[in-house]
Structure 1
């Protein structure tokens, strides 16, 4: 069985993230990275779209959720995005990282990473 890994790299979006007064009224940049694993043997053999994971659909759901949302914590946002990725029954496991650039003085960014795996 061939296991595929799809990487969504540096998806840059804007959302309301944080709980400080200025964060409640001003959107901030975030950067999303995801690794999504699924069994790809059928897709590799058949070359048929229906056998593969549709990463475009997943990405559209992520974009909509982020751009329409208000989040206090990186933990909540990251958990929501991991849940979106894991919605597709074909996904066996996934890791989602959300970065908040310029969240700390003297640091490029702060990030939070969550991993999920489908129970066998």
Structure 2
């Protein structure tokens, strides 16, 4: 497994996720960090975008999921993002961290959040991804 990563940090979207009716009605910001684990040496050697993952495409996919979907739990949102990335891009592993800075809690808090890591299964990427590229 590669130790290389593409990192997208601090992706902020306004969305309507949460269990409370006010969260669904009013919405709030969500901040995501995404790490894509894959071998970046082909791109490093060739300086060719085709040898890596275009992070603009990852950003657009994540934005669509977060802003157009509706989830009660951050866990479900994170799982959906991770699984869509695994089936859409040739990554070995993905980490998704979601921060909810306006979580409806009775005290002062920087954010509530979740972080998950998911690894590729051999059937995840139908495009024929192989580690050797």
TM-score by length of 1: 0.90
- Give the C-alpha shift of residue 3 in structure 1: 4.3
Q: 1:78 to 1:52 in 2, by over 3 A?
A: same
CA RMSD after TM alignment:
1.7
Q: 1:2 to 1:46 in 2, by over 3 A?
A: farther
SS in structure 2 opposite 1:45? Answer: helix
1:18-59 superposed Cα distances (whole Å, 9 cap, x missing partner): 121211211111000111111122212221111111111011
Asked if the contact 2:100–2:113 (Cα under 8 Å) also holds between the matched residues in 1, the reply is yes
Alignment of 1:40-119 (within 5 A): 40-103=40-103, 104=105, 105-119=107-121
Distance between the aligned counterparts of 1:56 and 1:4, measured in 2?
A: 18
SS in structure 2 opposite 1:23? Answer: helix
Please identify which structure carries the higher strand content.
Answer: 1
Asked if the contact 2:18–2:71 (Cα under 8 Å) also holds between the matched residues in 1, the reply is yes
- Give the C-alpha shift of residue 94 in structure 1: 1.3
- Stretches of structure 1 that go unaligned for 5 or more consecutive residues are none
TM-score by length of 2: 0.82
Q: 1:12 to 1:89 in 2, by over 3 A?
A: closer
- Give the C-alpha shift of residue 76 in structure 1: 0.7
**Does the alignment pair 1:37 with 2:9?**
no
Number of positions where the alignment pairs a residue of Structure 1 with one of Structure 2: 120
Structure 1 runs of 4+ with >3 Å offset: none
- Give the C-alpha shift of residue 83 in structure 1: 1.4
The equivalent of 2:127 in structure 1 is: none
**Does the alignment pair 1:14 with 2:14?**
yes
